[in-house]
Chain A
Amino acid sequence: MIIEAVTKYFDMMIGMPVQYEGCKPGLGYDELEGPPPPVLPSRKTVIVGMVGFVGTMNGIINLYLEEDLAKKVTGSFLGMTPEELASEGPEVIHDSLGEMANMVVGTFKNTVSDKGFQCRMTVPSILRRTNFTIETPSGVFRMLYMFKVMNDPFIADLTMKPGD
């Protein structure tokens, strides 16, 4: 469902091909001896778009990409040149990545809802840093889905567990 959601977003809104490269389980902090490695190891600034879903299934999807790709994706999303984008400031990039997360998570959540797990989405958040990781407790389902967009890495990090 995640792969379909990411592919649909890039196909419909960006017009860029996206390649799925495989997935691996994300480890909770109880399963690691030392600090966990960054999800997207990079010396460049990494931006994460985050949207959660709450209901009979709870979870969050974090979408990781480097700043350079974020600019390219935003430019295609909004039909803006790099110069126009630069004049708008970083806010428009953050807003676009928030909307990207909203659309990807929306597609995923709608399928989950149609399977009988009613949930609602949260408003998007953005995280922008270098060399960081987001940890999750053990006992929840966590999977990292790796993609390539124009040879740059793009990672969808899904964490979820059934609601009460």
Chain B
Amino acid sequence: MQLKILTVDDSRAVRIIVKKAFKTYNVEILEAANGVEGLAMAAKQLPDLILLDVTMPVMDGVEMLTKLKAEPSLKAIPIIMLTAEAGREMVLKIAKLGIRDYIVKPFKEDVLNEKVGRIIDLRPISDTQAKRKTLSDPCEVLVVEDKPAIIQQINSGIRVPTWKVHGVASTGETIDYCQKNVPDIIIISLSLPDEAADTLFRLLRSNMKTKYVPVFALAVKTDLHAQQQAQQFGFTSIITKPIDYDELESKIAKAVNLDTSERYFVFDQNILVVKIPDSTSATVFNEINAYLKPKISEAVDQGYSKVIFDVHAAKNVNMSLIKLLVDAMQICMELTLSYALVGNPQMVQECKGFEESKDWKFNDSIDAAKAQL
């Protein structure tokens, strides 16, 4: 999946420069002209990184930063301030709010690339132009953990049959392993003794073979200090224990740029079926959301005119699910596609409790939905 960088700056010129700086990398640049637009864009697109100016009309960068940090679903997005405001007091004030880096304008393009590259896995476009891998392609996950039970848990928790989990217990074993095979993803436990996780991370990043391999940190959910440190260090992502395997699989898929759309989008005769899984995790919804427009457009391109949203597996209804369906229906309406919904009795009942979904009509099976269309 393509990484997203959101640039929030009232100057269109700066936004053009940021776009230019990343044009040779496989990233999508999103733009916002002030803090209000920036917050809305961040909530909608969940970017992998935000470049934020300070002095802006409507809502300035400090206020936007404060609001981002107060919003649970957005607070983990790494932020780099890109601003001409760099007096010592201002920098200290902003640093206290929790940012990953600070770039003072004027700046050199390579400084911007380097600082962003320390936080997200920037890859040149040429590396990603090859056909995207799918869930049926093999993927090797290397877990560095000194507790065999955790490795065993991850091995059984990952459900994609083509993904292979290999466990090692120490820095030395990891380096030896990576000399022979370069894994697609490395997960390092932050509880390795003697701060070995940090040392290993640095070694992996300084080695040409593993420089671009996504590296996840594995931390206990309640150990916020370790998670914050891992974030500052530049780990690609953080996985918390107990592990949510939907989230882990989704993060791996994103990190290795895997096309997972076949999980959710099925082209069935002349109908596109969008299958919403039982998981209610925000990561999974974001993953589906990212495919929504391109997949429905692809269906239109291929001559499809009907879509079924199959939500019968959903265990409960929440705002993320409703928002996803509202967006999906909106896309269908824009493209003049007819659509139908499939749900289970419990969720049909729960949908009546939300203003947006109270009038939705559900079918009890795919066949009934086909008949409705």
Shortest Cβ distance from residue A134 to the other chain B in the assembled complex, whole angstroms = 22
Say yes or no for B326: interface residue by CB 8 A criterion: no
A20 within 8 A of B: no
On whether the beta carbons of B14 and A99 are closer than 8 Å, the reply is yes
Mask, A79-104, CB within 8 Å of B = 1, is 10000000000011001101100110
Q: A95-B13, A96-B13 are in contact. Are A102 and B105 (CB under 8 A)?
A: yes
Q: How many residues of A contact B (CB 8 A)?
A: 29
Of B12, B57, B84, B106, the contact of A92 (CB 8 Å cutoff): B12
B55 touching A8, Cβ below 8 Å: no
A13 touches B87 (CB 8 A): no
- The smallest C-beta distance from B362 to any residue of chain A, in angstroms, reads 49
Q: Does B85 lie within 8 Å of A78, measured CB to CB? A: no
> Which A residues are CB-close (under 8 A) to B87?
109-110, 113-114, 118-119
Counted as pairs of residues, one from A and one from B, with CB atoms less than 8 Å apart, the total is: 74
A127 at the B interface (CB under 8 A): no
- Contact, CB under 8 Å: A120 / B85: yes
B282 interface residue per 8 A CB criterion: no
Distance, CA A120 to CA B54, complexed state (A): 10
A106 within 8 A of B: yes
Tell me whether B89 is interfacial, beta carbon within 8 Å. Answer: yes
**Chain A residue contacts of B86, Cβ below 8 A:** 106, 110
Measured CB to CB, the closest approach of chain A to B11, in angstroms, equals 4
A114–B14 CA distance with the chains assembled, in angstroms: 25
Q: Indicate if B180 sits at the interface (CB-CB under 8 A).
A: no
B88 to A, closest residue via Cβ: A114
Residues 90-107 of chain B: 1 if any A CB is under 8 Å from the residue's CB, otherwise 0?
100000000000001111
Asked if B84 and A105 sit within 8 Å, CB to CB, the answer is yes
In the bound complex, what is the Cα–Cα distance between A96 and B10 (angstroms)? Answer: 11
Partner of A106, one of B12, B13, B84: B84
Q: How far is the CA of A118 from the CA of B90 in the complex (A)?
A: 9
Tell whether B225 is near chain A: CB-to-CB under 8 Å. no
Residue contact A78 to B20, C-beta cutoff 8 Å: yes
B55 and A120 contacting across the interface, CB-CB below 8 Å: yes
Q: Chain A's nearest CB lies how many Å from the CB of B370?
A: 49
Provide the bound-state CA to CA distance between A151 and B9, in Å.
Answer: 32
A141 / chain B contacts, CB cutoff of 8 Å: none
Residue among B13, B56, B108 making CB contact with A99, cutoff 8 Å: B13
- Check A103 against B106 for contact (C-beta < 8 Å): yes
B17 interface residue (CB < 8 Å to A): yes
Are B85 and A121 within 8 A (Cβ)? yes
**Is B84 a contact of A102 with CB atoms below 8 Å?**
yes
Please list 10 pairs of residues, one from A and one from B, whose beta carbons are closer than 8 Å in the complex, sorted by A's number.
Answer: A9-B106, A13-B106, A77-B13, A79-B20, A92-B13, A102-B105, A109-B85, A113-B90, A114-B88, A120-B85
B interface with A by C-beta (< 8 Å) = 10-14, 16-17, 20, 55-57, 83-90, 104-108
Interface set of A (CB-CB < 8 Å, partner B): 8-9, 12-13, 74, 77-79, 91-92, 95-96, 98-99, 102-103, 105-107, 109-110, 113-114, 118-123
